[in-house]
Amino acid sequence: MAKGKKVSIYFCQSCGYESSKWMGQCPGCREWNTLVEELVEKKSAGKIKSAPGGNADLKPTKISEIDMQDKERMLTGFEELDRVLGGGIVPGSLVLVGGDPGIGKSTLLLQVCRNLAEERDVLYISGEESLQQIKMRAQRIGQFSDRLQLFCDTSLERIEQVVEREKPQVVIIDSIQTMYSEQVSSAPGSVSQVRETTARLLQIAKGMDITIFIVGHVTKEGVVAGPRVLEHMVDTVLYFEGERHASYRILRGVKNRFGSTNEIGVFEMREEGLQEVVNPSEFMLNGKPEGASGSIVACSMEGTRPILLEIQALVCQSNFGIPRRTAAGTDLTRMNLLMAVLEKRGGLSLSNCDAYVNIAGGIRMNEPAIDLGIIMALASSFRDQAIDGKVICFGEVGLSGEVRAVNMAQQRVSEARKLGFTVCILPKVSIPGLTDTKGIKVIGVENIREAIRWIKG
């Protein structure tokens, strides 16, 4: 069949909107400078291919007639990953795993393949590595079952044939930016190719009841490269975060149709691969200084998991006309707001001081419950007075200086007691909701003035 004429089409990288001409603002999502030009081949309309394994009977099914017995979740062998997924892998789902280059996405998925291949057929498809390179990485991880099969190709049509012939239960695509469809004339990694290949993989996953993991590269802004519509098409979006020079990694769910999006999983990169961090609080507090001013432990919730983290602050007189403010691990705007509250409601003169706030361990937290920890760390550093190392705090701070209630107070107190803390400073309104305070002294405060009194004089 003769090839069609190539035409220039503009695609929005945020929502996938198509236009025949360039525009500064996308009419679909109202984002600026997101339209990119691509040459596509204009073809005549043909017969639409049905999804693999699709039922020819188009009669709809009553919701009461759907059998859920075959939809039991598959456990990955990683409790951290299972919790982020909502309890395990849902058969027939499409999961997108994004992260910076070299962060450990392929290593994590290869370890998941190793665990799943003990009982299920798994197909690992790579468009970036050869079979020998994958085997070298696998040897570092451990022994693999023969139920794991490897296939290196970037053609979506050939991948479809292999999947339909082998019928695996789990498929890994590494990565989506290297895959291409012969029906789309643009280059691999373009908006058209990424959207088309993801749509075809979605048909395979739903039609054949196969779970497919696709790896996505991220841009310098930290989002998955390609059209934003990619994240809307998949069932679950996971981001693998962390510094390349640090040993820990955080797996965060930003979209999940089958579970919560507030959960995180913590891993540690070792020579033999990624290992779960069962107790992240103990890991984050490792190396905490004793008797140093500007340091306190606060408690934050990530989904159903309480995480204790050390908040450090350094306040000193500024040598510049405009004081410098820096925040690492938390929002700088929130830090400036809390400093204004501390100066106005707490009576501390911070307007001529440089201030630096850091969450130790490199983890990033923005939950309002760490407000009280930031306030007390700043006050401790400003006064150069240390806070007892057995004291922990949490609570949201309002503009009037009041300490407001936060959710799951009992879980936070229990986690603090388990790690050996003896005093917990928390919002006074949260105390009636506590059911078990044995072994730890709870102190309720109504405002920041009451809280900073507990800094040693």
Q: For the chain, what is the domain count?
A: 3
Pairwise CA distance, residues 126 & 106, whole Å? 10
Residue 59 belongs to a domain: no
Secondary element (H or E) of residue 96? strand 94-99
Residue 411 belongs to a domain: yes
Same domain, 168 and 189: yes
Residue 337: per-residue pLDDT: 96
Peptide bond into 414 cis (omega under 30): no
Same domain, 272 and 350: no
Same domain, 15 and 127: no
Tell me the residue range of the domain where 226 lies. 73-278
Of the ranges 126-140, 141-155, 191-205, 215-229, which one carries the lowest mean pLDDT score?
A: 215-229
Pairwise CA distance, residues 457 & 446, whole Å? 21
Residue 51 belongs to a domain: no
Same domain, 291 and 354: yes
CATH classification of the domain holding 78: 3.40.50.300
On the question of pLDDT at 457 being above 50, the answer is: no
Secondary element (H or E) of residue 256? strand 248-256
Residue 278: per-residue pLDDT: 81
pLDDT tens readout for residues 278-330 = 888 887 788 888 888 999 999 998 877 899 999 999 999 988 888 999 999 89
Residue 446 and residue 402 in contact, taking contact as beta carbons nearer than 8 Å:
yes
How many alpha carbons fall within 13 Å on the CB side of residue 319?
0
On the question of pLDDT at 1 being above 80, the answer is: no
Helix (H, G, I), strand (E, B) or coil at 326: strand
Same domain, 200 and 336: no
For residue 248, the one-letter residue type is Y
Same domain, 265 and 305: no
Residue where a domain stops, chosen among 234, 262, 278: 278
Same domain, 358 and 314: yes
Q: 222 or 414: whose pLDDT is higher? A: 414
Residue 331 belongs to a domain: yes
Pairwise CA distance, residues 38 & 309, whole Å? 47
Residue 431 and residue 325 in contact, taking contact as beta carbons nearer than 8 Å:
no
Same domain, 287 and 272: no
Helix ranges restricted to H, 304-370: 332-346
Phi and psi at residue 319, in whole multiples of 5°?
A: -100, 10
Same domain, 421 and 314: yes
Pairwise CA distance, residues 19 & 37, whole Å? 9
Same domain, 315 and 173: no
148-152 β-sheet, strand order: 148-152, 122-126, 170-174, 211-217, 94-99, 236-241, 248-256, 264-270, 273-276
pLDDT tens readout for residues 36-91 = 877 766 555 455 455 555 555 678 888 888 776 656 889 999 999 998 999 999 99
Same domain, 231 and 359: no
Residue 179 belongs to a domain: yes
Residue where a domain stops, chosen among 278, 302, 336: 278
Same domain, 274 and 289: no
Tokens 């707001």 identify what position?
337
On the question of pLDDT at 387 being above 60, the answer is: yes
Of the ranges 175-179, 219-223, 328-332, 437-441, which one carries the lowest mean pLDDT score?
A: 219-223
